Amino acid sequence: MNILEHIKQELPWLDGNTVYDLTRGKPAPEQLDITENYYSKLSTPYELDGIDLRNYGNPEGLPSARELGSKILKTNFDETHALDNSSLTLMHQIISCAFFLGFKSAKLYGHSKIICPVPGYDRHFKLLENFGIEMITVPFQKDGPDLNAIEDLINFESNIHGIVCVPRHSNPTGHTFSDDNVEQLFKLIEPLKENFSIFWDNAYACHDIEDTIQQTPADQIAKKIGLENNLFQVGSTSKITLAGSGISFISSSADNLSKFIDFRNAITPGPNKMNQGMHVKYFELVSIEKQMSELKKIIKPKFELVDHILEPIKDTGLCFYEKPTGGYFYSIDSAKSNADEVVQTCSQLGLKLLPMGSCFPYGVDPDKKNIRLAPTFPDLASLERCVTIFKNVLKYLN
Ligand SMILES: Cc1ncc(COP(=O)(O)O)c(C=O)c1O
């Protein structure tokens, strides 16, 4: 009997028709139902903060939406703008602006290289690849990016013009950077501050599901070291309210924000203030803390289920992972360099996973071990089946 036949015999519920999917970090319908429930109680505001929401203007966003952003990202109100629906789009626009106009201390060129801690967010890497920016990978240490590897790059590589980080519950590894790590990292960057961009994507700023260390706001550490013009923080309410229909935020120095508005003024005559108004009203009704605690009730059992199923094979050395304390992902390393075969075998059994290498620049995982699991979307019963397929495949292949 081959592996597929063995597993099909062990899992008699595999019917060859049902599609199981752990590819994308999407909120589950039940999470969105929470938002819909409160949302439906709101009446649409047409004026807020003395501003006519129906019209163009306010390129920096509504003051009360900016306040919301500064609360989520733990940034200063003055240095936080509330914009449209996607922080990934903002990253694209920041990078475009760095390319075409250049910020005071953050410019990008065709020969620029960006440091990428790996495994990381696939869309960041695709974005940078689309700009033709060379990505140089570094591994993680326990509490953030590997500082020795970064020091070596800074000492021996030319044209290093930036780094991209997800500092809390990193996608997909779940790393949360310690203050010490961030301070040391920024000190390493300091000699390059004439031209260096720190892309600080805080997509999971308030997405703790277990106790997680508190972090000093990155802008406070940056200011202490004189890097305020190098830091670009972004985030959004995509994984807080409605994915793709929320508000995104940018925080940077006044100088950078003014350049960014100038750049964006040729892209849009103003952000979607109606949506911003709805979100402001939403968080008058439900605090961020209450919203996140309701979401946690749905997400936490899913993360615990993944750990419950995989822990025995982790303990016997068939795979390795750190249980994340928040965010949206599990990052699993197979014990053998066979991630491709694992993904293919799962696919033949009806479970879709991201292709091997997805969490690495150019799709190349040098160790061929890493596999990302996104457990939030399926319901618990379906998730149990997804992870059981994955576990059985690892058992047979490793
Ligand atoms: C690290 C990270 N940044 C950004 C995004 C996308 O956020 P947005 O919907 O605000 O573009 C995601 C979504 O998975 C993510 O994991």
The tokens of 280 are what? 């402001």
The pLDDT of residue 1 is 74
Q: Is 248 in the pocket of ligand 1 (CB under 6 A)?
A: yes
Q: Is 238 in the pocket of ligand 1 (CB under 6 A)?
A: yes
pLDDT average, residue stretch 52-75? 98
What is the residue extent of each domain of the chain? 3-22+290-397, 42-286
pLDDT average, residue stretch 52-78? 98
Strand partners, 388: none
The tokens of 142 are what? 């326990």
- Provide the 10 A C-beta neighbour count for residue 1: 8
Q: Is 237 in the pocket of ligand 1 (CB under 6 A)?
A: no
Task: Give domain 3-22+290-397's CATH superfamily.
Answer: Aspartate Aminotransferase, domain 1 (3.90.1150.10)
The tokens of 172 are what? 């997909």
Residue 122 has pLDDT above 80, yes or no: yes
pLDDT average, residue stretch 326-347? 98
Strand partners, 51: 48
- Please report, rounded to a whole number, the percentage of residues in the chain having pLDDT higher than 70: 100
**220 Cα to the center of ligand 1, angstroms:** 23
Q: Is 85 in the pocket of ligand 1 (CB under 6 A)?
A: no
The pLDDT of residue 55 is 98
Radius of gyration, alpha carbons of the chain: 22
pTM, full prediction:
0.98
Residue 127 has pLDDT above 80, yes or no: yes
Measure the CA dihedral 381/385/391/394, to 10°: -150
HSE value, Cβ hemisphere, 13 Å, CA-based, for 289: 0
Q: Which residues contact 217 (CB under 8 A, 6 or more apart)?
A: 73, 74, 75
- For residue 167, what pLDDT band results from cuts at 50, 70 and 90? very high
What's the DSSP call for residue 252?
A: -
pLDDT average, residue stretch 192-202? 98
Helix (H) or strand (E) holding 330: strand 330-334
**124 Cα to the center of ligand 1, angstroms:** 9
SS3 sequence, 216-229?
CCHHHHHHHHCCCC
Rounded-to-integer distance, Cα 230 and Cα 160, Å: 13
Q: Is 69 in the pocket of ligand 1 (CB under 6 A)?
A: no
Strands 20-21 and 351-352, by their bridges, are: parallel
Q: Which residues contact 257 (CB under 8 A, 6 or more apart)?
A: 60, 79, 81, 250
Q: Where are the alpha helices (DSSP H) in 243-287?
A: 254-264, 273-285
Rounded-to-integer distance, Cα 277 and Cα 46, Å: 8
Rounded-to-integer distance, Cα 369 and Cα 333, Å: 5
Q: Are 166 and 205 in contact (CB under 8 A)?
A: no
Mean pLDDT across the chain, nearest whole number?
98
Q: Is 31 in the pocket of ligand 1 (CB under 6 A)?
A: no
Residue 293 has pLDDT above 90, yes or no: yes
The pLDDT of residue 50 is 98
Domain 42-286 in this protein, CATH class: alpha beta
pLDDT average, residue stretch 266-270? 96
The strands making up 80-82's β-sheet, listed across from edge to edge, are 80-82, 248-251, 231-236, 197-201, 160-165, 113-117, 134-138
Which residue among 85, 88, 206, 232 is best mutated to probe the pocket of ligand 1, counting the most ligand atoms within 8 A of its Cβ?
88
Closest CA to 20 of 346, 344, 397: 346
pLDDT average, residue stretch 51-63? 98
Q: Are 141 and 147 in contact (CB under 8 A)?
A: yes
Q: Whose CA is nearest to atom 2 of ligand 1?
A: 203
Rounded-to-integer distance, Cα 258 and Cα 274, Å: 23
The tokens of 25 are what? 């970090």
Rounded-to-integer distance, Cα 82 and Cα 395, Å: 47
The b-or-e profile of 152-167 (16+ CB within 10 A means b, else e) is ebbeeeeebbbbbbbb
